[in-house]
Amino acid sequence: MAAGRTRGSVRGGASVMSGTLPAGLRALHRGSRIFRSEFPNAQGGLGRVMELRQLRTFEAVVRHRTVTEAAAILDLAPSTVSEHIRALERSLGVAVFERTARGMRVTPAGEVLRGWARRLLEQADQARREVVGAARALRLGALETIAASHAPGVLSRIAARDPGVAVEVRPSRSRDALMGDVAAGVLDAALLLDVGEALGDLGFAPLSAVASTDVAPVRSAVGPGSGEGSDGPGRASFADVEPARGPGTGEGLDRPGFSPALAFADVEPVPLALVAAADHPLRDAEEVTLGDLRDERLLINVPNCSFLLAADRVFGGALRRVRAEGVPVMRAWAEQGLGIALLPEFAVAQSLRAGTLTRLAFPVPPLQLRLIWGPDGETRADVRELLYAVAAGSGRP
């Protein structure tokens, strides 16, 4: 070896100066043997350039755990997502995911990249804003159904209060992903459906250090008779329903990198309705019991869906389940008699009025529309404007 040359190693045609690498990048290099066993023709090393789109795709796969879910969120074909991940791994010379039957599992090298990816994407976004002189947009996540039903009104009220506040709405089908994104700083706030005294009580493991925040205009939106445990005479409450850990129940928020330092405020109750085809035999029954439903097929959404988690509480494993992939499909299949569905009233109101669905007289407690935000939310003017705008749309003083 020539004098003064740093000792390194050469594998696959690429020189890796491991003695000069920072600790984080050394961890990436240590995982390269796994990568080369899976991709023997790859050119290893750190000389290739990572692209921002590859890092965004990497983050989406980390959050959603499958290529299919990440592709839906990114509006890309699954094959494109897979190619982005392969290209990223080729650029690093190391595997960032293990491919398993249950989805994509982050490798130790991928865990290192997770933190770097967020910082690099944030810096790129900041650079773009400074170059073009644009203000930072408030990133609001929302469940798909909430994005369609509630987000437009929120955007209108924010624009009326302060036209200078820009809001970027990012729909998602997963409560887990929304909470994780707010905790990780990918989102500034999110609208989701939940219930209980702690964030995630509907279907996730209890969280510690989660703040329930007394933001006056938002907390006042939930008055006596509308909140959890006070649903009025004859109304069921999830406080009285024992959790049923049946199929589809969430896995919890204890995955690596999740921080539970989130605050939340309940905005308004969201009534649920058990619906069926207009000619269902139980359409005229004054009261429907669980025994009456024992032969029914329950149409369900994706795992971690709020309606699925609510169904776990109400029905447990008593009903056969049919996965329908999305609220519009669940509603359409119920109209055609393929099963019954537990959905929010706002998602089926038009079908009930049109007579294509009937509401079964089965008591179901309401969920809560819940706004969550990160640790710095209350110090930011744009997040405060969001809180006021959401509260103003609840129809309560």
Three-class SS state of 61:
helix
**Model pLDDT for residues 223-250, shown as the tens digit of each residue:** 323 333 333 333 444 544 443 333 333 3
pLDDT score for 203 = 57
**Separation between Cα atoms, residue 247 and residue 323, nearest integer Å:** 11
pLDDT score for 135 = 66
- Low-confidence residues of the chain, pLDDT below 70? 1-48, 129, 134-136, 201, 203-260, 304, 393-397
pLDDT score for 265 = 85
Angle at 268 between CA 266 and CA 270, to 5 degrees: 115
- Are 71 and 78 spatial neighbours (Cβ–Cβ below 8 Å)? yes
pLDDT score for 221 = 31
CA torsion angle 165 385 377 253 (round to 10): -100
Q: Supply the Cα-derived Rg of the chain in whole angstroms.
A: 24
Close Cβ partners of 126 (under 8 Å, ≥ 6 residues apart): 136
Name the residue among 198, 190, 182, 282 with its Cα closest to residue 243: 198
pLDDT score for 186 = 81
Is the model's pTM score more than 0.95?
A: no
pLDDT score for 1 = 46
